[in-house]
A and B are shown apart, each in its own frame.
Chain A
Amino acid sequence: MEPLVSGQSNEERRSFSTALFLLTSSLVVLPLVFFIADALLSFESSSLTPIFFKLLFRALTFGATQAFLSASLSIGAAFILCLALLSLAPARRALLESPLRALGQLLFVLPGTSIALLVLSLPRGAVEALEGWPLIICAHVLWSSFFVAAHCVERLSDWMESEGGDLLRVAQSLGASRSSALRTTLLPVLKGEIQTWFPLIFLWSFGAFSTVLLLGSGPTHSTPEVLLFYTLLNDVNSSRLLLIFVATLGLQIAFLGLASRSSSNTSRLVSPASREVTVRRHEQLRLPAAFFFRAIAVVLISGALALLVSQVASVIFGGAPPPSLWSGLLQSWLYAACATLFCGALLVAISAVDARTRTRFVWGLALSPVLIGVSWSRMPGLGISELPWATALPLCAFALALLQLPFSALWIERSLSTMNSDLILYARSAGLSESQLFWKLRLPYLRPVFEKVLCYVFCIALGEVALASIWLRERPLLSLEARRLAQSYDFNASAWVFVLTLASALAVREILSRSLRKFLA
């Protein structure tokens, strides 16, 4: 689909897309290049002992293993939930879809600290039994599986009601049994979903920071991000930092490259659901294991609900929040508001570029807060750690907004791919200019995506630990306070952090919906 930017020809549109891509890339790549160059100039190989290489290798393998397990289990749990829901009759399914979506979004927007606290509030025996990397994986699975399940249900539901049902009938009419027909028709779609979500969850888990800090039991549970963080703060010489940085970034880029290659062939084949399709009755999926799936789904959902309820209960009955939380709340809100504003501007910008440029942004998924934090901190001449608070805060917020760009680009692209191109033709024939098409058609169409992304960014900023720990350490931000409280096992305070973050998320979502509606009206 051609991009819609006011009063511009295709040539100008392409140059705008290129300019925006170069600008945002240079903000990331330039500090990186300077940092690497500076580190190479002051390279001291004496600190690169065999033990260091073992530490680095262990961190990389631990990071990759827990990320792989987190992604696999998350997607497994998501598919169990998804298939359980799809096996219900449409009316009953519609009743459960909304709560699932709400739960998924709720858990997804909660910062890593809150998720870690949720997991730590399991019964003491369970926590001790799972101490270490199983707890970390639990946190990642809890955080992502409901969100992925909600998305899969929506996508598969649309697919079933469009061509999926017909394909199922064709397969059966050609002699396949019901389960064979399902396997033939449904599995490719599920494969497409796996190829979308697995890399994302893998990369997020690989780059996990606060969950590892809070739920790990020490250096044996260092992901590359955590190792990078401690090395940044405790090694004056940059040699080790450089090696860890290059190894981590290299691995993430390699993984992203592999993931892109495997998904590019399939993504064409899985036709996106069209919003214009009228809802038809579709067959129930009478999976042989439907009962089994539903039983597991009930356990998963009720487990998550129980955790949430216990947190809320502990807040209500646990007393007032510690004063230290209030002092940082306003600063945290400022930080989060800045990040959201920057992200909003960037979202509008990337909505205007062409699809090809947008998909290029996806490479940014290889970056994480700590990687950005390291390269900007050690970039000669920038001196971020010595900037006054008034400058450091918006800079940190901007870095956070930049980091959300790849995921937002992916989400926007996915959403736009379902937009009926006939709508554009109709709008043009009705006399709308290119600028009006952008502001009146494309942006309102993307409003749900904007709402979700901005709410997500706000909550992430509220609970963000990595960048804040590098650049804003001296401020009593909510996220840093939450980290300190969680590390000292202060669960009552942790419940307040959870509630404050949740209330902020709901309030922001409400405010954002209204202001976005007004802005786009």
Chain B
Amino acid sequence: MSLTFIEQSRLRLHDGRLLSLEGHVGAGEIVALQGPSGCGKSTLLRHLAQVENTPLPFLLGGVDVTTLDPDKRGISLVFQKALLFPHLSVSENLRFPLRFRAPYRSWSFELQARRVADFLEALSLSPLASRSVTDLSGGEAMRVALLRALLPSPKCLLLDEAFSALDKETKAGVKSWLRALIKEHAIPTLLVAHADEDLVDFADRSISWPQDSASLRF
């Protein structure tokens, strides 16, 4: 399933510019978007995730996401901070998207919990299951946040500087682990990053934020 921008894929930036989005991101392809701080990269990702007030239409697998209900869109967004729900355990955090996303939300509690457990086991992360989120290290928390985004089988993954808070060693481990998962499940992925080192051994290609142009071509 690929991500394709259409004529209506336009974004109003802070400076008043109307930015047109063109091109597409292939299935399993990781595209990095680089640019200076405050230019609008994170805003773009939030609009793509449809969590801002104005919708931003684009096609996922040939279907305009804005015509779908939120639980059927299949877009997962991961922030710079893990942002795990502090009152839920790790397994409950992981189960959270399954409660709302189709088709998992019609599953019973046991089936949902089973999916979480299987995922954790497959990735050798079962020991984290019953822990409190406040007890996790930075790297562990980010892995759980990424897993939470991947568990509902997203059709598209958006990473908003997801690695910038990690130290070098943890970053390398998380990146290689995540890249393998993305490739395995063929999820088109957009990554916003400051630093070049975030792209190394991860992104398939990189594009720069247009400073003066009115269009952004993927």
Q: Which residue of the partner chain B has the closest CB to A189?
A: B87
Nearest-Cβ distance from residue B153 to partner chain A, whole angstroms: 12
Establish whether residues B76 and A173, one from each chain, have CB atoms under 8 Å apart when the complex forms: yes
The CA of A60 and the CA of B100, in the complex, are separated in Å by 47
Nearest-Cβ distance from residue B144 to partner chain A, whole angstroms: 12
Chain A, range 157-172, C-beta contacts under 8 Å to B: 163, 166-167, 169-172
A270 beta carbon closer than 8 Å to chain B: yes
Q: How many residues of A contact B (CB 8 A)?
A: 23
Nearest-Cβ distance from residue A282 to partner chain B, whole angstroms: 12
Establish whether residues A174 and B87, one from each chain, have CB atoms under 8 Å apart when the complex forms: no
Q: Which residues of A contact B75 (CB under 8 A)?
A: 173
Nearest-Cβ distance from residue B112 to partner chain A, whole angstroms: 13
Chain B, range 59-79, C-beta contacts under 8 Å to A: 70-71, 73, 75-77, 79
A435 beta carbon closer than 8 Å to chain B: no
Nearest-Cβ distance from residue A389 to partner chain B, whole angstroms: 55
Q: Which residues of B contact A184 (CB under 8 A)?
A: 85, 96
A259 beta carbon closer than 8 Å to chain B: no
Partner of A163, one of B83, B100, B148: B83
B175 beta carbon closer than 8 Å to chain A: no
Contacts A163-B83, A167-B83 given; does A174 touch B134 at CB 8 Å:
no
Establish whether residues A167 and B51, one from each chain, have CB atoms under 8 Å apart when the complex forms: no
Nearest-Cβ distance from residue A406 to partner chain B, whole angstroms: 27
Q: Which residues of B contact A91 (CB under 8 A)?
A: none
Establish whether residues B134 and A166, one from each chain, have CB atoms under 8 Å apart when the complex forms: no
Partner of B87, one of A175, A177, A188, A283: A188
Contacts A173-B51, A174-B97, A184-B96 given; does A163 touch B152 at CB 8 Å:
no
Q: Which residues of A contact B101 (CB under 8 A)?
A: 174-175
Partner of A172, one of B51, B79, B158: B51
Q: Which residues of B contact A176 (CB under 8 A)?
A: 70, 96, 99-100
A41 beta carbon closer than 8 Å to chain B: no
Main secondary structure of the interface of B (DSSP, over half): mixed
B146 beta carbon closer than 8 Å to chain A: no
Establish whether residues B83 and A166, one from each chain, have CB atoms under 8 Å apart when the complex forms: yes
Q: Which residue of the partner chain A has the closest CB to B105?
A: A175
Establish whether residues B79 and A271, one from each chain, have CB atoms under 8 Å apart when the complex forms: no
B127 beta carbon closer than 8 Å to chain A: no
Chain B, range 36-92, C-beta contacts under 8 Å to A: 46, 49-51, 53, 70-71, 73, 75-77, 79, 81, 83, 85-87
Establish whether residues B83 and A180, one from each chain, have CB atoms under 8 Å apart when the complex forms: no
The CA of A173 and the CA of B75, in the complex, are separated in Å by 7
The CA of A174 and the CA of B99, in the complex, are separated in Å by 9
A196 beta carbon closer than 8 Å to chain B: no
B149 beta carbon closer than 8 Å to chain A: yes
Q: Which residues of B contact A174 (CB under 8 A)?
A: 76, 96-97, 100-101, 148-149, 152
Nearest-Cβ distance from residue A101 to partner chain B, whole angstroms: 27
Establish whether residues A173 and B77, one from each chain, have CB atoms under 8 Å apart when the complex forms: yes
Chain B, range 112-169, C-beta contacts under 8 Å to A: 134, 148-149, 152, 158
The CA of A163 and the CA of B82, in the complex, are separated in Å by 11
Contacts A174-B152, A175-B101 given; does A169 touch B87 at CB 8 Å:
no
Chain A, range 369-397, C-beta contacts under 8 Å to B: none
Establish whether residues B134 and A171, one from each chain, have CB atoms under 8 Å apart when the complex forms: no
Q: Which residue of the partner chain B has the closest CB to A169?
A: B51
Q: Which of A171, A191, A271 has the most CB of B within 10 A?
A: A171
The CA of A176 and the CA of B53, in the complex, are separated in Å by 15
Nearest-Cβ distance from residue B180 to partner chain A, whole angstroms: 22
Partner of A175, one of B53, B85, B97: B97
Partner of A185, one of B77, B79, B85, B148: B85
A266 beta carbon closer than 8 Å to chain B: yes
Establish whether residues B70 and A172, one from each chain, have CB atoms under 8 Å apart when the complex forms: yes
Nearest-Cβ distance from residue A41 to partner chain B, whole angstroms: 52
Q: Which residues of B contact A425 (CB under 8 A)?
A: none
Q: Which residue of the partner chain A has the closest CB to B79?
A: A166
Q: Which residue of the partner chain A has the closest CB to B45?
A: A173
Nearest-Cβ distance from residue B26 to partner chain A, whole angstroms: 22
Contacts A180-B100, A184-B96, A268-B134 given; does A175 touch B71 at CB 8 Å:
yes
Nearest-Cβ distance from residue A368 to partner chain B, whole angstroms: 33
Nearest-Cβ distance from residue B38 to partner chain A, whole angstroms: 12
Q: Which residue of the partner chain B has the closest CB to A167?
A: B83
Q: Which residues of A contact B105 (CB under 8 A)?
A: 175
Establish whether residues B87 and A266, one from each chain, have CB atoms under 8 Å apart when the complex forms: yes
Chain A, range 23-51, C-beta contacts under 8 Å to B: none
The CA of A174 and the CA of B152, in the complex, are separated in Å by 8
Nearest-Cβ distance from residue A196 to partner chain B, whole angstroms: 15
Establish whether residues B134 and A269, one from each chain, have CB atoms under 8 Å apart when the complex forms: yes
Nearest-Cβ distance from residue B147 to partner chain A, whole angstroms: 12
Nearest-Cβ distance from residue A158 to partner chain B, whole angstroms: 16
Q: Which residues of A contact B70 (CB under 8 A)?
A: 172, 175-177
Q: Which of B75, B85, B101, B149 has the most CB of A within 10 A?
A: B85
The CA of A167 and the CA of B50, in the complex, are separated in Å by 15
The CA of A387 and the CA of B78, in the complex, are separated in Å by 70
Chain A, range 139-170, C-beta contacts under 8 Å to B: 163, 166-167, 169-170
Nearest-Cβ distance from residue B58 to partner chain A, whole angstroms: 15
The CA of A367 and the CA of B105, in the complex, are separated in Å by 50
The CA of A229 and the CA of B75, in the complex, are separated in Å by 66
Q: Which of B46, B49, B83 has the most CB of A within 10 A?
A: B83
User: Which 6 residue pairs spanning A and B have beta carbons closest together?
Assistant: A175-B100, A173-B77, A174-B97, A188-B87, A175-B101, A269-B86
Supplied contacts A169-B77, A173-B49, A173-B158, 4 more A-B pairs, CB within 8 Å: A174-B101, A175-B105, A188-B86, A191-B87
**What residues make up the interface of B, taking CB atoms closer than 8 Å to A?**
46, 49-51, 53, 70-71, 73, 75-77, 79, 81, 83, 85-87, 96-97, 99-101, 105, 134, 148-149, 152, 158
22 A-B pairs within 8 Å (CB atoms) are namely A163-B83, A169-B51, A169-B77, A170-B79, A172-B50, A173-B76, A173-B158, A174-B76, A174-B100, A174-B149, A174-B152, A175-B71, A175-B97, A175-B100, A175-B105, A176-B70, A176-B99, A177-B71, A184-B96, A266-B87, A269-B134, A271-B86
